[in-house]
Each structure stands twice: as C-alpha cells, then as structure tokens.
Chain A
C-alpha cells in the first residue's frame, strides 16, 4: 500500500480566493441553467461552494452524493458573470472535481474512456470507427439524415441524436501542410487544432476552413500528433493527470506556428485553460502560457487578427436569402469574452438576414460529459434554447462549437422544427 502525501484538498486550495469570495447572496440562482430546472440549492454555485467549504471544514466527505452534486454543473459561467462579487465558482468546482478524482477514482466505463481512449487519438478514432460500422445496423434511424451515434457514444449518451460518424476522418483526407493556392501570397502560418468533432464527424467543415484560410493567404498546418483538447477529461471529470498528458501532447504538436486556430469554442477555451488548471511545474506553466496565448477562436482570428474586410464574407449558396440567428457558446462568450466577432461576420454576409435571439448567451445544456450524466436535465435546458430559436423565426441557427451544435440539433429534431444547425464557417463561401 503506497503512502500518499498528497493534500486531500490540493486543487481546491489553489482557488481559495474564489471559494471565499462568495457571500451567499443567491443572485446566481436566477442565472443558473441547472437551478432554473431543479430549484434545489445544491444545483447552484452558492450551494456547491458551501458544500466545498464544508468539505474543507471536515463536515463533508468525498461521497457519491458529493461527487454527483459537483458534476451537476455545465461550467457555463453565468453565475460568475452575474455575481456582484465576481466569485469564479466554476474554478472551484473544476478543482473540487480533481480532488474528488484523486480521492475516489473514476468509475467504469468512464475510466476507460478518459484514461485510455480519449488521450489516444488513433485508438479513439478506431473505437469511434468500429462503433460507426454498427450504428446503422443495430440502432434505429431517425428522421432526415441524422442517425443515432455509434454504439460507443450511444451507450454513454443514452440515445442522443447526433450526426453520424464520417466515413473518412479529417486527418485522413488532408495533408499536414496546406499552402495557399498559386497566386495568393502567404501572410502567416497557423496551426489548426481540429478537435474531435470536426475530425471524426464534420471533416467537410475542416476541409472548408482550411480552404477558406488558404484563399485568404494563410498557410494551415494540421499536425497529426495533436489529440483531444482534454475538456471532458480535466474539466468534466477532473482527471488532471491524464489532462496533463493530453496538454503536453498538444503543446508539442504545435511548436512552430504563429497562431493556433480552433473551430470549437470548448476546445479553444480548454486549450487556454491548461495553464490555470494543469500547470503543476514552472516548465509547464511557461509552456502552457505560451501555447494558450497563441490559441484563437476562428471568428476572433478572422476579425481581430486577419482583419478581413466585410467583402471577404460571401454567402455559401445554400444560405443565400436565409434568416440566421446566433447562439453564443458559453466557452466563447463568457470564458473568452468573444461576443461581437461572430455577429460582425454574420451581419457582413450579403443576402443573409441576421436576427438576434432572446438570451442568445444562455447555456444550451450540452456541456460535454454533463449531458451524458444528466441527459434528461440537459434536454430540459436545451428546450428553453429551442424556444428562443423558434421565437426568432430563423431558418438557420449558427454557432461555433460542435458540442453546442449537437445539442441544438438534438433539440431541433426532438421538437420537429424545420431549422438547420450550422457552424459559422459553413455560412461562408
């Protein structure tokens, strides 16, 4: 039996400032998507924070109930944004999840997924691929072109409706180096962090982004060594050890580029979060900081770095004359403060009518593993989003987070709405 010298509250203690900042006013109840469905105090930042304080005080322990209450948070940050004291309780929750994992371990089958499958890109791909062979055989088809996901994710996702696995992954169809076409001058070199969803499910989107950037004079490198961003592992499950391995892999994969662009809000935010949660040594701190600073969301990159003129945003043929609304991914609008850039892009597209939806920045309820653990709750949160989309009368709801897009798609299909869900880059020619 190994004797551990690790502090039981090691990670929480790193965020004691946030932990003590809450003065229990209860404002967060109004903004918390989970509390607004459940109306119990353990759903909301104030309650979770108080449980964590009591854990530190020795009054509570790492029980199943404690772990469950901690997991029941989408990390949407609505509490923090609206907190009069700016208490960042999501920080505390992620840290508390990490300490819980150290104390309790991760249960089957999640342990296999987090520790073995997600960190190994090829294995992950093969598992997804293997499962995809069977999805059409064993699982019922749903309306349109949408099928139940592979058995693998389906087993975890309890029948969530998401797009089918692509026949060929992005990594298999594009080269590592993608130079601008002849006659277009190369302005800069960026690395493309493809994320699992774009890689496995939406390779067309990935190809389109590379092509778009090439045409604007950007050389795009797609390192084969890159892996999952780690969000489900270190943010969702609190497995910081595996998270560090994944972070190190990604940092190494993107060593010599000017910027690292991502089409997924969650990936973008998580890559930047390495330094906050995973930097356990000064070397890692330095490497993660440097890495995180280079990471840009695609819309932020087009608007703030490339500074493309409005004329650069021409409509793809299928969106001409359509009414479009925008859903703010939590990881963009609150975690990174990116709100205007995507709207600016959509509003620049000629022949597309932009309409703002009510509470556009309200969480859609996906939140990765949250929606696997709590699918019913996740659906209820999504239904409020679906209602907001419906009220706009939009033909297309746009976002820039494949996670949100799955959730929106699931919500739209469940509610039998004739609304298309698209990534912002799919709007562009």
Chain B
C-alpha cells in the first residue's frame, strides 16, 4: 500500500476523480489480454495532460514507486501488468486527435486515442494508417508505439515503427522530451524514436505521437483459399511472395479456428478444410484486378482445393470477421492458453508447420495455430491449465520446443506481441548477451531508479 500522503499528492496532480484506489477498481487494472498473468496495482491514475504525466513520474521517481504505463490493456505479453504493484498510469483519457494534415500526410495524436477511432477519423478524409493489430477496437496508439504493434497489413505496409515521425516522451524523472518532428526525412542524430518504439513502457511514457499517413487505396479485393494440407498452404504463401506480387494481407486459419468460429457465428465457412488462407490485395482498380488474378492462379497451382474471390464488400467483411474472431476462438478454448508469437522467414513456413506437427505428436499437446502467414508470424497455441502444475510444466517445455524450432529456421521469439512477462524466460536464447547487456545499460541511463515498468523484458537477476 502507498502512503496516504502520496495518494493525496497524486490527487492534487491529476484530480480526485482521476485517482482510483478502491480494491474493486484496482482489480480492473490487474490484468491484460493474457490468461496467465495478473497483479494488483496500489493505485491507478488517469492523467489528461503531459504536464500531469510529468508530475506523476517525478513524484514516483523521487519516492521509488513502480509505474506501469497502460493504454487499454489489450496486449498479450503481460506488458501492462503492474507486476511490482505501485502506480498504473493509464493514458485512456489522453485521447484527442490533435491534427490530421492531408497535405503533409501526417497526423498527431495523444497516446490514448483508440486505433479504430483514429481509423474512422482518417477514413472521413480518405486517409489510411496501415498498422492494424487485431485488437484495433480496443488498443491505443500509445500502446501500439510502446509495443511496436502490427497486424495483417504488415505484409505490404510494415509495422508501427515504419510510420513514426515524432514522439513526445516523458522520462522517468519527469522531463518532457521531444523527438523527431513532422517531416518524412529527418537525419538528426541517433534514431531515438526507435529506442522508445517497442520499449514496452520501460524507458518513458509516450504522450504525443506524430505518424505518417497514406491515401486510402481506392480498391481492394478479398480472396479465400481452402487447403486439405496445412503444409501445402504454407508453401502457397511462399510461392505467392516469390511471384512478384505483394498482397496487402495473407492470413492463415486452421481447422480448429474454422470450426470454433463457425460454431460461435455460423457464416458458412468450409468446416472440413484443414487450412484456410484469407488474402487481400489493394491499390488502383486495375492493379487490384490483375494482382487478384495472379494470386488466384498461383493458389490453384500450389494445390488449393478451392479458391474464391469475395464478390462484394459484405462477403469480404465476413471472412475478415472470421479471422478476427479467431483469437476469441483460441483464447476462450481453455483455462490457460499459451500463445506463441514466433515469426519465421516466409520461405520456411511449410517447414515450420511440419515441425509443429512433429512437436505436437511428441508432446501429446494439440497445437492450434493461426496467424499472419504473409509475414511468417504464426501464433501456435497450447491449451492447458495453470492450476495443473505437472501439465502446465509440460506445456511450457513444449512452448520452448516450438520457439527453438522457429529459431533454428532463422526465426525470432516474438513477431509482434513483445516480450513482457510471457516470453522473458526465453530472451537469453533469443538475443545476443551483449545486446541484452546494452539494453540494461540504456535502461539504467534513462531510468536509474528502475521505476518504469520494472520486471519486464529480461528476467531479474539473470
């Protein structure tokens, strides 16, 4: 528990209503999107201005109180769990879109702006911000930067870091630092914006974000391809990428998800299919037409049992809804769902899928997976129960095997979720020890009292 004096100081800074202390309210800031992690904060503060954030951090820094920044708590890494208690600094009320500039193709937003609200405001002006984590209805832009988030569109358009032009960051000591600007080119000094991008709230609190935008593509087309064999589907993705056409999205859904989604919301999905690829192309109408034809041809040649082009926006929306319902299908399937986030090179997809099959057979665990096949980022999941110690331990070991299989193929530990708490036990295997040491030193420079999201990314004492 924090001293009453500190609570009243927080109230003085942010206003009485912005400081939550009841056990009921604290409970609702103890979790994120994972099924494994939870920890109660001592207090929750919802500031509305950069100045308030600055004063909160200053107070916390002087008193050595842990601060866990939080947007909407939709992350699936344990990243926003206040594992050391202390303050949850929630930016949900800093949710103004400050500027949308159609000539510069830029926008400046506060960190609590919800991605979908941002997308809707941009769409009104014919503009487009591609990074699209599947949590777009809930997730905030601040969280997107802190986690360097991405989604299906990254096949063609890249991830959050590719769109950042400027940041305002409050450092652990309360100093408000401005980085970058609104220009597309900026070669002034180190790329410090990148330091805070994907920093998972351990280096500073992001209070303002300037991103670059694209014009909304005038046309798009959705296709689905049904496969009997998951490996064949994986190979088809490699074939498409090698053919010179770059779809906007290529998503992979397995039989488990097809069935579960169809159970939850019947929409006529092919429940017998072992794998389903959902693809989209976008651009000018003529280019979309040509790309779609080329993709359909390749899919058929690669062994797809059935290929369908959505005839209208409604049908397309249905397939994408099935995809976004996929994670609900997975996360609702068991008491504890361990979701991997490995990414492998795209030309190793089929091989990786084959190895997943072997690991499943050997371990006895059913391995479900769906994901962003177009960028090699699959999400293999294991259904377990954290209350069953023996089984949970085996599940963890199986997860380790999956991760190692990905690494052997030249892959990475986390494609988009971040390390947080969920993946930190693997960090030493996934990263050069010197690089980990440099990260710790950077942390020491920016946050010498270790108040910002302590206990995340690397294991303590390790």
Contacts and interface: CB of A to CB of B under 8 A. Distances in A.
A63 B23 CA distance: 10
Given A26-B138, A84-B327, A60 B31 contact: no
Contact of A86 (B92, B117, B135, B265): B265
Given A23-B35, A50-B28, A51-B28, A60 B23 contact: yes
Interface string B149-184: 000000000000000000000000000000000000
B29 A27 contact: no
Contacts, number: 101
Given A54-B27, A85-B332, A40 B114 contact: no
B31 A50 contact: yes
B32 A24 contact: yes
A85 B328 contact: yes
Nearest to B260: A85
B461 to A, nearest CB: 29
B32 A29 contact: no
B324 A39 contact: no
B28 A25 contact: no
Contacts of B20: 40
Interface in A296-332: none
A41 interface: yes
**Residues of B in contact with A, size category:** 35 or more
A82 interface: yes
Interface string B11-40: 000000000101111011111110100000
B328 A65 contact: no
Contact of B27 (A30, A60, A83, A87): A60
Contact of A82 (B114, B137, B331): B137
A69 B24 contact: yes
Contact of A47 (B28, B95, B325, B327): B28
B264 interface: yes
Nearest to B114: A30
Contact of A63 (B24, B29, B46, B117): B24
A41 B327 CA distance: 21
B253 interface: no
Interface string B84-95: 000000001101
A41 B138 contact: no
A362 B352 CA distance: 45
A39 B92 contact: yes
A18 to B, nearest CB: 11
B360 to A, nearest CB: 22
A25 B265 contact: no
Interface in A73-105: 82-87
B418 interface: no
A50 B327 contact: no
A7 interface: no
A39 B93 contact: yes
Contact of B22 (A24, A54, A65): A65
Contacts of A21: 332
A300 B141 CA distance: 43
Interface string B307-324: 000000000000000001
A84 B92 CA distance: 22
Contact of B24 (A31, A65, A86): A65
Contacts of A26: 33, 72-74, 135, 137-139
Contact of A42 (B28, B92, B331): B28
Given A29-B138, A39-B95, A84-B327, A23 B28 contact: no
A66 interface: yes
B27 A51 contact: yes
A59 interface: yes
Given A84-B325, A86-B264, A51 B24 contact: yes
B274 interface: no
A31 B116 CA distance: 11
Which one of B25, B28, B35, B337 has the highest number of Cβ atoms from chain A below 10 Å of its Cβ?
A: B28
B137 to A, nearest CB: 4
A389 to B, nearest CB: 20
Contacts of A51: 24, 27-28
Given A26-B73, A41-B73, A85-B328, A59 B138 contact: no
Contacts of B117: 30
A24 B72 contact: no
Contacts of B139: 26
A39 B46 contact: yes
A59 B27 contact: yes
Contacts of A85: 264, 325, 328-329, 331-332
Interface string A1-44: 00000000000000000000101111111110000000111100
A59 to B, nearest CB: 7
A27 B327 CA distance: 12
B46 A25 contact: no
B76 to A, nearest CB: 9
A25 B27 contact: no
Given A30-B137, A30-B138, A23 B332 contact: yes
Contact of B25 (A29, A46, A65): A65
Interface string A155-168: 00000000000000
B70 to A, nearest CB: 9
A25 B135 contact: yes
B114 A29 contact: yes
Q: Which 5 A-B pairs have the closest CB atoms?
A: A84-B328, A26-B138, A23-B331, A47-B28, A41-B28
Given A24-B331, A40-B46, A41-B28, 4 more contacts: A23-B337, A29-B72, A30-B116, A41-B29
Interface of B: 20, 22-25, 27-33, 35, 46, 72-74, 92-93, 95, 112, 114, 116-117, 135, 137-139, 264-265, 324-325, 327-329, 331-332, 337
13 contacts: A23-B35, A23-B328, A24-B31, A24-B32, A26-B74, A28-B138, A29-B137, A50-B30, A51-B24, A60-B27, A69-B25, A86-B265, A87-B332
